[in-house]
Amino acid sequence: MADEWQRAYEVAVDVARKAGAVIRKAADSEIKVSTKSSTVDLVTKTDERVEKIIIGALKEEFGEDTHCFIGEESVAKGEACILTKKPTWIIDPVDGTTNFVHGFPFVAVSIAFAVNKELEFGVIYSCFEDKMYKARKGMGAFCDDEKITVSDVKDIHKSIIISEHGTDRSPDKVKKIFSTMQKILCIPVHGLRGSGTAATNMCLVACGAVEAFFEIGIHCWDIAAGAVIVREAGGILLDVDGGPFDLMSRRMMSANNDIIANRIIKEIEVFTAERDDIPAQKK
């Protein structure tokens, strides 16, 4: 199957670049916005159109009888978000929709591919930067055609850490998020950052620009491609409580090494987030 997955990898890169072109063009026209789970959880017609373009192209190339698809907008409309052993595409058509709406220039197309519940490759195209991040399991990580690796920093005091606020604005969770950020900032670290897109944040870890990115409340489509890229760049993935990384848990720590990761984990005020793989009828 190696050759088949190589072909899938090449198609994913091509489709991501074409989707990025659609997003850039849409940014120059009127952006129509609606909301999903809350007034800050945005979706545009571009998200929906780009997802249809990506899934349509993949189905045409590989069929839909043997391949499964998990797409952010499809799940929002009630489709299942269950990872099976079948070849599965995990897609975020516009990661950073709020950025897109506001013209903040960090927006990414994220496409991952899993077989037997294991991530095989990830492709992230940062549309406005025109940077293609990509990785296949066991073959290294790249930005365009240049190999990338995580930072070699082991001193937490010399690190930059990324986190995001998410879309849940319940006061108790917001309080924990900002308490965590305060504690990390006061370690002290060199800085706290956030691009507004999980996919881009993970690529920043992978290329050594920052030492770690963590978040509670993200979804599998936000981080699946980035998970492959971080690992292949030499980084690690954990749960925010220090346990094993679980793609469907909506909790993730990605870092350049376990020294940095475990130091940050000591400061995180963990809260629960409903798993992605709970059937819609039970939510």
Residue 281 reports pLDDT greater than 50: no
What's the domain count of the chain?
A: 2
Q: Both ends of the chain: CA-CA distance in Å?
A: 37
Q: Is residue 36 part of a domain?
A: yes
Q: What is the model's pLDDT at position 33?
A: 67
Does residue 31 sit within a domain? Answer: yes
pLDDT, mean over the chain: 93
Range of 104's domain? 2-147
Q: Give the pLDDT score at 199.
A: 98
In a shared domain, residues 131 and 223 = no
Residues composing the chain: 283
Kindly state the average pLDDT of the residues 191-197: 96
Judgement on whether residues 125 and 162 belong to the same structural domain of the protein = no
* Closest listed residue to residue 94, CA positions, set 59, 47, 127: 47
CATH number of the CATH domain containing 195? 3.40.190.80
Strands 131-136 and 141-143: antiparallel
The region of weakest confidence among 33-37, 89-93, 166-170, 183-187 is 33-37
54 close to 169: Cβ distance less than 8 angstroms = no
Q: Which residues contact 94 (CB under 8 A, 6 or more apart)?
A: 23, 44, 46, 47, 50, 100, 107, 108, 109
What are the tokens at 139? 């073959």
**Given a cut of 70, is residue 245 above it in pLDDT?**
yes
Q: pLDDT tens digit string along 146-163?
A: 999 999 999 999 999 999
In a domain, 97, yes or no: yes
Same domain assignment for residues 164 and 187: yes
Average pLDDT over residues 89-115: 95
Q: Looking at the whole model, is its pTM more than 0.85?
A: yes
Same domain, yes or no: 143 and 202: no
Which one, of 91, 100, 104, lies nearest residue 42 by Cα? 100
Query: Does a structural domain hold residue 277?
Result: no
- How far is Cα 117 from Cα 238, in angstroms, rounded to an integer? 17
Q: Does 214 share its domain with 83?
A: no
